[in-house]
């Protein structure tokens, strides 16, 4: 009952409409009946006052409800299922700014080619500054991942590896920048997995561990859709606004990193030596 009352208080327009309907029923019937209690209005004037009042309340309540619904349609909703959809960080803050200020950056995807292509220099500079970057990509050379991608991903067997080759080339670019730097204060770690991730993910942990941001790009619902159609629906979750949702993805990445991945032998261990070169 208390939940209903709280909901009515939050939606004042609904409360006003319900009150108006009750008064209209009372005014039209000319009496109040509750259990064994009954009260009859003796004056028709009283009935009309109640009826007019109820109609005014109905008009006001309906107007407020229409206005509220119109405003919610004009303003992008911040609610998406159980998560808080907070697009402000990536609308008003560039991804490269998030990379440059992050303490740690976790990246998950089929091959993360687009992220690596666009932000490889920013990622390298963040690592030089002191950030730790972890990257997980799907290993398409192993069964059953290879068979699934070749059969359902919408790419030919000949062109599919080229997407991964490009991504690995961008990783190599990052390593070249790190090797050329006099000092590297952070770390680059890369692992592969035969698990096909349900989403692309890039998670930024802040230095204060309180204002992190995670962006989740959803894949197509079916592998029969080309991969180029995936990732157009995304969520941005801020640690401040929705800690539980943020931790859900952060812990999920950690679990995948620890239990479902293998070390990638293409990493140059010398780049992770925190020392003067």
Please tell me what DSSP assigns to residue 227: G
Q: Which of 75, 97, 126 is the last residue of a domain?
A: 75
132 plus 238 within the same structural domain = yes
Q: Which phi and psi (to 5°) does residue 153 adopt?
A: -80, -5
pTM: 0.62
> Does residue 277 form part of some domain?
no
Its domain, for residue 135, covers 84-272
pLDDT band at residue 181 using 50, 70 and 90 as cut-offs: very high
116 plus 189 within the same structural domain = yes
**Average pLDDT estimate for 223-234:** 54
pLDDT band at residue 99 using 50, 70 and 90 as cut-offs: very high
Run of H or E including 235: strand 234-238
In total, how many domains does the chain have? Answer: 2
Give residue 103's pLDDT: 94
What is d(CA 62, CA 210) in angstroms, rounded to the nearest whole number?
Answer: 42
pLDDT above 90 (res 9):
no
7 plus 128 within the same structural domain = no
Give residue 1's pLDDT: 47
pLDDT above 60 (res 14):
yes
H-assigned helices in 75-112: 88-92, 95-101
**Average pLDDT estimate for 106-123:** 92
15 plus 102 within the same structural domain = no
Q: Which of 75, 94, 120 is the last residue of a domain?
A: 75
- 33 vs 16, higher pLDDT: 16
Structure tokens at 36: 């064994």
- If DSSP codes are grouped into helix, strand and coil, which group holds residue 262? strand
């Amino acid at each position: 009952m208390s939940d209903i009352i709280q909901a009515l208080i939050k939606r004042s327009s609904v409360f006003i409409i319900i009150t108006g309907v009750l008064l209209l029923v009372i005014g039209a019937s000319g009496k109040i009946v509750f259990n064994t209690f009954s009260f009859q209005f003796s004056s028709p004037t009283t009935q009309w006052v109640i009826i007019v009042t109820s109609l005014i309340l109905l008009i006001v309540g309906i107007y407020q409800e229409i206005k509220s619904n119109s405003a919610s349609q004009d303003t992008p909703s911040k609610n998406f299922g159980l998560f808080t959809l907070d697009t402000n960080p990536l609308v008003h803050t560039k991804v490269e700014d998030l990379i440059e200020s992050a303490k740690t950056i976790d990246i998950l995807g089929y091959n993360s080619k687009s992220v690596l292509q666009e932000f490889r220099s920013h990622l390298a500079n963040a690592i030089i500054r002191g950030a730790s970057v972890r990257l997980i990509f799907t290993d398409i050379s192993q069964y059953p991942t290879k068979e699934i991608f070749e059969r359902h991903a919408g790419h030919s067997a000949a062109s599919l590896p080229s997407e991964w080759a490009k991504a690995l080339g961008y990783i190599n670019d990052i390593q070249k920048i790190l090797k050329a730097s006099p000092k590297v204060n952070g770390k680059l770690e890369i692992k592969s997995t035969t698990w096909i991730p349900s989403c692309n993910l890039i998670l930024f942990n802040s230095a204060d561990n309180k204002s992190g941001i995670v962006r989740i790009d959803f894949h197509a619902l079916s592998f029969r859709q080309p991969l180029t159609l995936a990732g157009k629906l995304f969520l941005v979750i801020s640690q401040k606004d929705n800690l539980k949702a943020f931790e859900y993805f952060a812990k999920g990445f950690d679990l995948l990193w620890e239990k479902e991945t293998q070390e990638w032998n293409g990493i140059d261990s010398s780049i992770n030596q925190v020392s003067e070169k």
